[in-house]
Structure 1
């Protein structure tokens, strides 16, 4: 005889405890005043009317009142005398012939110091309310000279940070940051893994991750938890790390946020690199970058809170040898830049100072985890923020809406819009094309977008140079080829930031760097650091990869390789024809474990199309041939898809087909998706390439990723295995009654263990999983990466042994997010129910609902 038991919620299991607490108020009122109790209400009324029987309490109250009057009369006299004395002192300080800080306050005891501090605050407040702000500032500076330095620093940083150059380095073409700034989506937490995948891959993965699984945090709240000394913020190139730092500093300088911080010292790694040979103290380092602080000889971080901001850890060219660098605790002691930084980060130097470090994902492991209090990730723009950006960037709202609609029509372009820089590039192109300032086909692929962007930047050269540039000019061709060579060579080295020696290596005359920046003012930037040293960069990694692909393409078709390079990428140029050249590029991209050549390959494929070459005909050489059989390349890419590489590599190959304007594989499977009902693939034998196409389409479908139903396609283990990447990317996977066995649980366990899985709900009911399947699945449930919140395994032939495996897995993973388990229709036995019910009662686990059947 089976009895059904539904145990729901930890509160239900603590009914007695709840009854004991029922008299407490749930409202924010003090619990001693309970409006739910009639008795306490009567008592409250009696007390307020003062009905106290015929005792002597009224006389006692009158005596107490007289005593208080006497005390407060004397208190008033003393407070007024004290304030008068302090006001006399302040007046003396404000007289023109009285030197600042001439009074020695070192002998004051702590109590008197606090009183004087309070009197000063009151005086300053009243002076400001009387519109004597200058007088208040003078008084504050005389009593506390540090505030004068703080105001000077705020003024300097505020002036530097108030404007933003979107992709432009020249002065005079900037926008006020506060007018255009769009809040970025920043999340707390980090798995600890270092992700070395191509950053576009990471963006595509992140775009499928539900925001509900993240803990969002505002930029100005990074140091809200006062126990945190160091925050490490990671984010892919161009995602908005540096702009976030700029806005953070601006808000502090303008008095809008983090006013408990006395001094902020932004020290970008790209500028610290220029001092890597220097030997100096921390004090001298600050005086070098912030000369206005020189009069403040020592920085007492116990009295004044200082914050150091190190932007761009990935650009650091210092060894950061945390293990073997000598210990340094004195801010006046000289040491190498590497020793200074490692000791500051470890907390040996200025242990009370706050540190904010930003980095691309691949470099975060340079900082030991024990030195970091909080790790956050800038995810860029979420979908509403993308629309907000275009609406702010484009003043014509009708045009802004057109741009948003167009970007949404191309899933690959819309995903890239997570990156703020790509939003800017798209807005630059589409504002002109949709605004009818330019004619031509509206870009639908990455290559088309970047080609138009390059053309526009050449045509609209910064007016500072008063140049008429066009694609046909020799100077333009030479500049683009020089920049392309720099992009190509540095891409292979993995560099985004360049210094003068890097330019010289590529044959660029540093004295003429401004000319390159002038021809392509919004592509190649020359920036001046805090101390006017030059730093060079492309506006984004994707721009660098596009120019690298353009260089490779132009050099190959013109056979214009003058150098005998032996690097891996340069071996591409040894091929005899375009088809072999492109096939070789495909092979090299697939050989890359982390996908660092993914975007380079997409651009190369796109540039091989005649339609894109026509746009760039001015840059095309007069000799050489770019003609080749597009179909040969398409078939080679399809062949590689049939070989079934990893899902990430397969997806990039489909993006390559898209750049080649070939959608045949996707169209082959599209009619299966357009049909209705279940088992759409029943009786159909899809080829490996068609399965991959189906995965690609489903991964780009927001609807399918919200809730995936396996039965729509085919209720089989083969279909499950083929569509596993889709299940991994989905929030909810309904695999109910799909003829699955314990073998399916092994692959699903790998999904649960993945740090990039989005799965929140898994329904495996009505499959013959048995205890062996539960044990295999449990390996995923006990993994800290598992994010599953609801698990359904009804009627799966599970016994008490399966329940024991499930309970053991959850006990070994205290961070488990599982809140609901459904096990109806199984022979779970009382022992199994008991083990799982104990988890329900244990407050350290999140489990709230257990629906089970005892047999």
Structure 2
């Protein structure tokens, strides 16, 4: 049957089917489960839903950054000047966009609210509150589609989930506006090969689910349909950029939204205010609350504890929060399934201990494997029964989460979420006797006394402090400070905090470990730094290296620490070298970093350093607009790397300064041939009249955006200046300042 021979439904039939599907989706999505999977307490979605912070997300390219670090950057992201997007408006073009949007890719780390945003849009449509120009919305989670091994036509697949569609032959009439919602691309186990040439343009032609999806995404099948795909950042690159019209990112809760959530979740408003006030006293917990699932954990724990316990027992570290959460969920589980009445069990039952240890084994194994999703066979390997395990699914929300798909009869999938960094913090936190007492009966008793336990903690603190001295990775050092925080021993950070507040840091030569503590403080701060000037602090090259991660959280970074004046008087021998550029390149690839200007002048980076730096500059996540590389020991050898940045479609670079480098004519010619964005500062770069014709052609190019040009201390001669004048006199020349 050809596409044009379908029997399209009458308006009345279409309306009836639409109303039936809306009623079905409203019934399914009007409640939200919090707690033990679909066995948990059902709350009305409208009573618990809190708006999430969603913004334009740039590129959908690969993002391998550690998700825990993305959580810690959340507070920085939410304070930058960006325009939030309402979830019901994701298909509306942003200001300046002139083409319609067909496919939206929404990124977000685990637990940040992607699926809840999907639920909000579907429910608002089903209840007639938004997007009423849409005839049909079809939510098709990837975890369900993974299980479809047979061949289907698109109409057969949709009818499998929505039997109401059997009343009509096709939705392909050119006037029916349809939205497909594919939630959880990171969970997809289908090949999803968009380079595959196998075509399907008929909604009644049976083929594999993979082919149906790839043809929908490429616009071959139902080109008028709208697609919304959600994913964790690491999987976003599975969809080629040319198939995506808009990328958005769910950032979680900003600070006002966190407070709204707590006030909705906690019915006693005095208690809600007390919880909000308490969470603000712990920076590490407050940061985690940008993630909605952690807000739920915190609300669950603090609602019970602030009612029933002394204030000094209330958790203030991740270890304590997770431990209390686990105990509370055991109480809830025992009340629900075992009809127990205790509010604070003196001892875990043997079955509880066995189950928790099996879950711990499952979680750790999957952490080691780096799995995003695991199935029933993985549970069986750890001695877990799916039915029994589902009762415990809320015990470890960060690592174990039961999901309910559209097909309730299918095998359910269990999701892993977590990283070894968080695991290490939790494990070290358990070495404190106060935390061990929380998990009485679960941890193996070693017969250690309070005194020996204290010695163990002291040895651990010394070991971590030694690792901070020895470690070369600034990012790993930051996690070691988190570990010390879990042990209640962050004296170095506290000392640096005192010095920072008193304004005495600039008067002291900082040791490397002090620089790491300062970096930790600045990274944990709620504020976005307007400017980070590295020469504010006096330290060694290793110390400066440890401060470099801070550049990702500021708008303007000045790292010209070894100019002649400072080399002479204060910073002799403290130049940054090419080895620092790998750390900087990583910082440049931080999602949604506010960093726009980077000054690396007077550092001995060399061509090797620029090569490493360009890896970050060509990333779609990099937002650098001004780069200053004056007197960095560069030659024409680095110009091919810089040219690749200037010609990259991902580059945001608008101004490049290269003064006092031995680029020579060949280097500058290479730069100007690939891009009309000529470096604005080329003073003392070993240039002669031989490059002036190339410079003149750029100055007269209608594509050139260059407004100022510095060429001092170059041997251009009169003939070179004559050639330049021809370009400067051209009507298309935009130069305002010439030096």
TM-score bracket for the superposition, by shorter chain length: 0.7 to 0.9
Structure 1 or 2, whichever has the larger Rg, is 1
In 1, distance between residues paired with 2:250 and 2:206? 35
* 1:658 aligned residue: 485
Structure 1 window deviating more from structure 2 (396-405 vs 841-850): it is 841-850
Which residue, out of 491, 494, 518, partners 1:694?
518
Q: Shift of residue 536 of structure 1?
A: 4.9
Instruction: Please show how residues 627-666 of structure 1 align to structure 2 within 5 Å.
Output: 629-666=456-493
In 1, distance between residues paired with 2:92 and 2:82? 18
* 1:68 aligned residue: none
Q: Shift of residue 363 of structure 1?
A: 1.9
Which residue, out of 382, 407, 417, partners 1:531?
407
* 1:486 aligned residue: 362
**What per-residue deviation string (whole Å, max 9, x for no partner) do you get for residues 653-679 of structure 1?**
111121122213324544543442573
* 1:602 aligned residue: 425
Matched, 1:707 2:531: yes
Q: When the two structures are superposed, what TM-score results if normalisation uses the length of structure 2?
A: 0.76
Which residue, out of 102, 105, 124, partners 1:232?
105
In 2, distance between residues paired with 1:770 and 1:527? 53
Maintained 8 Å contact 1:760/1:790: yes
In 2, distance between residues paired with 1:601 and 1:521? 17
* 1:278 aligned residue: 150
Maintained 8 Å contact 1:527/1:535: no
In 2, distance between residues paired with 1:532 and 1:782? 47
Instruction: Please show how residues 55-454 of structure 1 align to structure 2 within 5 Å.
Output: 143-170=11-38, 173-209=41-77, 211-212=79-80, 214=82, 216-225=84-93, 227-275=100-148, 277-324=149-196, 326-436=198-308, 441-454=313-326
* 2:508 aligned residue: 681
Query: Are residues 386 and 294 of structure 1, via their aligned partners in 2, closer, same or farther at CA, if it must alter by over 3 Å?
Result: same
In 1, distance between residues paired with 2:602 and 2:461? 43
In 2, distance between residues paired with 1:244 and 1:355? 15
In 2, distance between residues paired with 1:808 and 1:346? 32
Maintained 8 Å contact 1:749/1:777: no
- In structure 2, stretches of 5+ residues that fail to align are 94-98, 568-573, 660-680, 711-734
Which residue, out of 728, 733, 736, partners 2:552?
728
CA RMSD of aligned residues (A): 4.6
Maintained 8 Å contact 1:426/1:449: yes
Query: Are residues 245 and 675 of structure 1, via their aligned partners in 2, closer, same or farther at CA, if it must alter by over 3 Å?
Result: same
Query: Are residues 248 and 198 of structure 1, via their aligned partners in 2, closer, same or farther at CA, if it must alter by over 3 Å?
Result: same
Maintained 8 Å contact 1:797/1:827: no
Query: Are residues 538 and 440 of structure 1, via their aligned partners in 2, closer, same or farther at CA, if it must alter by over 3 Å?
Result: farther
Query: Are residues 438 and 161 of structure 1, via their aligned partners in 2, closer, same or farther at CA, if it must alter by over 3 Å?
Result: farther
Q: Shift of residue 446 of structure 1?
A: 0.6
Q: Shift of residue 351 of structure 1?
A: 2.3
Q: Shift of residue 214 of structure 1?
A: 4.5
Q: Shift of residue 285 of structure 1?
A: 1.2
**What per-residue deviation string (whole Å, max 9, x for no partner) do you get for residues 81-139 of structure 1?**
xxxxxxxxxxxxxxxxxxxxxxxxx9xxxxxxxxxxxxxxxxxxxxxxxxxxxxxxxxx
* 1:816 aligned residue: 652
**What per-residue deviation string (whole Å, max 9, x for no partner) do you get for residues 366-410 of structure 1?**
333332222222111122222222232223333323222322222
In 2, distance between residues paired with 1:299 and 1:677? 70
Q: Shift of residue 455 of structure 1?
A: 0.9
- In structure 1, stretches of 5+ residues that fail to align are 1-105, 107-140, 543-595
Query: Are residues 218 and 372 of structure 1, via their aligned partners in 2, closer, same or farther at CA, if it must alter by over 3 Å?
Result: same
In 1, distance between residues paired with 2:458 and 2:473? 24
Maintained 8 Å contact 2:496/2:518: yes
In 2, distance between residues paired with 1:703 and 1:836? 45
* 2:728 aligned residue: none
**What per-residue deviation string (whole Å, max 9, x for no partner) do you get for residues 120-161 of structure 1?**
xxxxxxxxxxxxxxxxxxxxx975310110111111111211
In 2, distance between residues paired with 1:771 and 1:636? 34
Q: Shift of residue 620 of structure 1?
A: 3.2
SS at match of 1:174: strand
SS at match of 1:307: strand
SS at match of 2:506: coil
Maintained 8 Å contact 2:376/2:413: no
In 2, distance between residues paired with 1:691 and 1:522? 32
Q: Shift of residue 770 of structure 1?
A: 12
Query: Are residues 416 and 241 of structure 1, via their aligned partners in 2, closer, same or farther at CA, if it must alter by over 3 Å?
Result: same
Maintained 8 Å contact 1:210/1:758: no
Query: Are residues 341 and 731 of structure 1, via their aligned partners in 2, closer, same or farther at CA, if it must alter by over 3 Å?
Result: same
Maintained 8 Å contact 1:462/1:521: no
Maintained 8 Å contact 2:560/2:603: no
In 2, distance between residues paired with 1:153 and 1:835? 64
Maintained 8 Å contact 2:78/2:251: no
Q: Shift of residue 265 of structure 1?
A: 0.8
Maintained 8 Å contact 2:533/2:559: yes
Query: Are residues 245 and 708 of structure 1, via their aligned partners in 2, closer, same or farther at CA, if it must alter by over 3 Å?
Result: same
In 2, distance between residues paired with 1:313 and 1:263? 21
* 1:755 aligned residue: 589
* 1:477 aligned residue: 353
Instruction: Please show how residues 788-807 of structure 1 align to structure 2 within 5 Å.
Output: 788=624
Q: Shift of residue 346 of structure 1?
A: 2.5
In 2, distance between residues paired with 1:449 and 1:709? 37
Maintained 8 Å contact 1:745/1:776: no
**What per-residue deviation string (whole Å, max 9, x for no partner) do you get for residues 234-268 of structure 1?**
21110101101000101111222222221111111
In 2, distance between residues paired with 1:827 and 1:819? 12
In 1, distance between residues paired with 2:274 and 2:658? 47
Maintained 8 Å contact 1:167/1:522: no
In 2, distance between residues paired with 1:151 and 1:704? 48
Q: Shift of residue 352 of structure 1?
A: 2.0
Query: Are residues 725 and 633 of structure 1, via their aligned partners in 2, closer, same or farther at CA, if it must alter by over 3 Å?
Result: same
Structure 1 window deviating more from structure 2 (523-532 vs 601-610): it is 523-532
**What per-residue deviation string (whole Å, max 9, x for no partner) do you get for residues 334-370 of structure 1?**
2233233223223332222221111112222333333
Maintained 8 Å contact 2:548/2:583: no
In 1, distance between residues paired with 2:553 and 2:336? 49
SS at match of 1:422: helix
SS at match of 1:816: coil
In 1, distance between residues paired with 2:170 and 2:626? 57
* 2:674 aligned residue: none
Q: When the two structures are superposed, what TM-score results if normalisation uses the length of structure 1?
A: 0.66
**What per-residue deviation string (whole Å, max 9, x for no partner) do you get for residues 802-830 of structure 1?**
xx99x99997578536589999xx9969x
SS at match of 1:147: helix
Query: Are residues 287 and 712 of structure 1, via their aligned partners in 2, closer, same or farther at CA, if it must alter by over 3 Å?
Result: same
In 1, distance between residues paired with 2:40 and 2:605? 70
Maintained 8 Å contact 1:524/1:537: no
Aligned length: 654
